[in-house]
Amino acid sequence: MNPLTSPLLTDLYQLTMLQAYFAHGMLDTAVFELFVRKLPDNRNFLMAAGLEQALEFLEGLHFDEEEIAWLEQSGLFRADFLDRLSKLRFTGEVHAMPEGTVFFPNEPIVRVVAPMPEAQLVESRLLNLVHFETVVASKAARSVLVAPGKLLVDFGLRRAHAGEAGLLAARASYIAGFSGTATVLAAPLFDIPIFGTMAHSFVQAHDDETAAFERFAQACPASTVFLIDTYDNEAAARKVVALAPRLKEAGIATRGVRLDSGDLGALSRSVRRILDEGSLQQATIFASGNLDEYRLRDLLASGSPIDGFGVGTSLVTSSDAPFLDAVYKLQEYAGAPRRKRSTGKATWPGRKQVHRSFRESGTLDHDVVALESEDLPGAGLLQPVMLSGKRVAPAPDTHSIRAGAARNLAALPPSLRGLEQPAEPYRVDISPSLRELAAQIDRKTGKP
């Protein structure tokens, strides 16, 4: 069983519920919507991501013989149900916001319309993919906004939450505007630029730091960003200056240095001076080591001459907000709108659309969450992406998704662009018709 494509990568209750749906012939059309209930304290907006992986999952959904055999021997399921399950494919339709779209609480970003068992079964993995990439894109966008024009590289694979997270974090952060990643596999799979320098172990494996730099340059003449903090940053910067003419003779340009510890602001200034005085004005300074958007903002605000940043753990774990209150909720079944009223978790019923209004400057003004059937001004952000279980268009390439995300970030009002909470949250209205529908359902089911 392939861990990432197996339909057993789901919650057990999805399968028991499916057994009940089939047993009772509950195969009517269900409408589920994926949305986030509220913003974390440290986010002024969210950025949708993960849709392509979700659609790939839906297109490939099936139970193979080995999986059915395992379910059979588990003793938890009936033979007639497993027979139905072995034939199940996703045949529904999906509307979604394009990846890279900025969005806000209570706005559906994915809507699934399918026979109940199909729409139900896909919940766990759909959320698992879209939630995570949205978490990372939303985090990454903050670094992109505070460090315009800087080289931003995802360095997070080693402390990402296992392998798929490392890989998809590279994708989500690139979509949000990062320049690329250190994770090699992201290049063949998603056509994302990859970057790398050298590790302390390489320097330590040599008795002499200059020898380490020179050998690395000889072996990898295109990758001459030297890591200078293994012992003493300034001493190492002077060694780079001394080495550079020898490398130049061999036809190798000294591209730059990497700082990875200590007071990055002070070090960048002293190292910049050493490089400049050593005729290495073109060499860049790249910084890494426990960085996040706050450190980037502060380093740049204090005028630190840093050209690029490797951002790792804080990015890929979204350490200050490692999850979103993202849910996938039934909004309509068999033509009737549905509403959950659990304390603090009530939902807006029915098939919905999000309409966005812009100011003349092109800046976001406000959104309206309305019923799909309503005719409202402003573009509808949810677009059809899958019909009868097949994508309506080929998957967009990662670069055009990234370009769309950049347009979204450029349209953010100034109040949402910083790292601090705005005085007023972005305005998201619920349409009167949608409010009336919710009230109708409450009256019918006899509770306020």
Q: Is 122 in the site for its own copies (CB under 8 A)?
A: no
CB nearer its own copies, residue 160 or residue 434: 160
Least separation, in Å, of the C-beta of 264 and its own copies? Answer: 10
Q: Is 341 in the site for its own copies (CB under 8 A)?
A: yes
Q: Is 395 in the site for its own copies (CB under 8 A)?
A: no
| Nearest C-alpha neighbor of 162 from the set 360, 340, 316 | 316
Structure tokens at 117: 């068992």
Least separation, in Å, of the C-beta of 102 and its own copies? Answer: 21
On whether the CB atoms of residues 269 and 243 are closer than 8 A, the answer is no
The SS3 of residue 366 is strand
Q: Is 185 in the site for its own copies (CB under 8 A)?
A: yes
Scan residues 204-243 and list those touching its own copies (CB under 8 A): 204-205, 215-216, 218-220, 222-223, 229-232
CB nearer its own copies, residue 340 or residue 427: 340
Q: Is 191 in the site for its own copies (CB under 8 A)?
A: no
Least separation, in Å, of the C-beta of 314 and its own copies? Answer: 8
CB nearer its own copies, residue 160 or residue 409: 160
- Which of 131-157 are b and which e, b meaning 16 or more Cβ less than 10 Å from the residue's Cβ? bbbbbbbbbbbbbbbbbeebbbbbbbb
CA distance 57 to 406: 26
On whether the CB atoms of residues 250 and 222 are closer than 8 A, the answer is no
Least separation, in Å, of the C-beta of 255 and its own copies? Answer: 13
Q: Residue 283 — φ and ψ, nearest 5°? A: -70, 135
User: Which listed range, 119-127, 237-245, 364-372, 382-390, lies at the site for its own copies (CB under 8 A)?
Assistant: 119-127
Q: Is 179 in the site for its own copies (CB under 8 A)?
A: no
Q: Is 176 in the site for its own copies (CB under 8 A)?
A: no
Place of tokens 């000294």: 254
Q: Cα separations (Å) of 19 from 16, 80, 120, 246?
A: 5, 9, 11, 72
The alpha carbon torsion through 253, 258, 166, 312 (nearest 10 deg) reads -150
The SS3 of residue 230 is coil
Answer for which of 89, 248, 340, 443 binds its own copies (CB under 8 A) is 340
On whether the CB atoms of residues 137 and 48 are closer than 8 A, the answer is yes
CB nearer its own copies, residue 141 or residue 198: 198
CB nearer its own copies, residue 65 or residue 375: 65
Burial of 73 (0-12, 13-18, 19+ CB in 10 A): exposed
Q: How many residues bind its own copies (CB under 8 A)?
A: 109
User: Which listed range, 22-30, 95-103, 295-303, 396-404, lies at the site for its own copies (CB under 8 A)?
Assistant: 22-30
Scan residues 255-314 and list those touching its own copies (CB under 8 A): 260-262, 313
The stretches of 24-103 forming alpha helices (DSSP H) are 51-60, 65-74, 79-87
Answer for which of 4, 242, 301, 410 binds its own copies (CB under 8 A) is 4
Q: Is 8 in the site for its own copies (CB under 8 A)?
A: yes
Least separation, in Å, of the C-beta of 205 and its own copies? Answer: 4
Q: Is 330 in the site for its own copies (CB under 8 A)?
A: yes
CB nearer its own copies, residue 215 or residue 269: 215
Q: Is 443 in the site for its own copies (CB under 8 A)?
A: no
Least separation, in Å, of the C-beta of 217 and its own copies? Answer: 9
Q: Is 160 in the site for its own copies (CB under 8 A)?
A: yes
Q: Which residues contact 67 (CB under 8 A, 6 or more apart)?
A: 1, 6, 7, 8
Scan residues 29-48 and list those touching its own copies (CB under 8 A): 30, 32
Q: Is 135 in the site for its own copies (CB under 8 A)?
A: yes
Beta carbons within 10 angstroms of residue 355's beta carbon:
20
How far from chain centre, in Å, is Cα 71? 33
The SS3 of residue 374 is coil
User: Which listed range, 92-100, 239-247, 320-328, 422-430, lies at the site for its own copies (CB under 8 A)?
Assistant: 320-328
